[in-house]
Homo-oligomer: A and B are copies of this chain.
C-alpha cells in the first residue's frame, strides 16, 4: 500500500472510533494495523485492527470496518495439540455488520460483494449484528463479514491470535499488515 492510502485509511478508521465513542491511545492509533491482505484494494477488502492484548491465554481486539469494507472468508485451523484453532466472539459496538457462516444460505443477503471476489465467499448463512449483538464462532469454521453503509466497530474477544495460521479462501490473500 502507498503511504498516502495507509494514512487516509487510518484517519477514516480513527473517525469511526470517535463516532463509536471508543477511547484509544495515540499510540494505538499510530500502530493500528491497516490490513489490505495483499489484495491492494483496501476500500473494498480488508479491515483496520487495534490489538489491545494478545497473550498465551486470550486476545482482545477492536476491529474497524469502513463503509461496506469486507473481511474476506477465512478460518482458524488447529495450530497444535494445545491450540485447537482460534475460537472468537464478535460483539458489534457501532454500525451494522453482516456476518456469514456455514449453514443454510440466507435468501437476499445484505452483503454486497464485488463480482471478482464473490467466488471466494462460499458460506452464506447471514447473521446481522447491531450494537450490543454478538456471535461466537467455533474453531476452524469458515466466516467472512461486511460492514453496512456507515461502517462498523466490532470488539473481538478470542483465544490467542496467531494470524499466520489463518487460512483464506482466496489464494491471492497474504496475511500481512502495513
Contact = CB atoms under 8 A, between A and B. Distances in A.
Question: On chain A, which size bracket covers the interface?
Answer: 20 to 34
Interface in A12-51: 20-25, 28
Contact of A89 (B21, B24, B53, B87): B53
A162 interface: no
Contact of A60 (B20, B21, B23, B157): B157
Contacts of A92: 23
A25 B134 CA distance: 10
Given A52-B91, A60-B60, A60-B89, A25 B159 contact: no
Contacts of A132: 23-25, 28
Contacts of A134: 52-53
Given A24-B132, A93-B23, A157 B52 contact: yes
A161 to B, nearest CB: 11
Interface string A86-108: 01010111000000000000000
Contacts of A22: 93
9 contacts: A23-B93, A28-B132, A53-B157, A55-B136, A57-B159, A58-B59, A58-B157, A58-B158, A60-B60
Interface of A: 20-25, 28, 52-53, 55, 57-60, 87, 89, 91-93, 130-134, 136, 155, 157-159
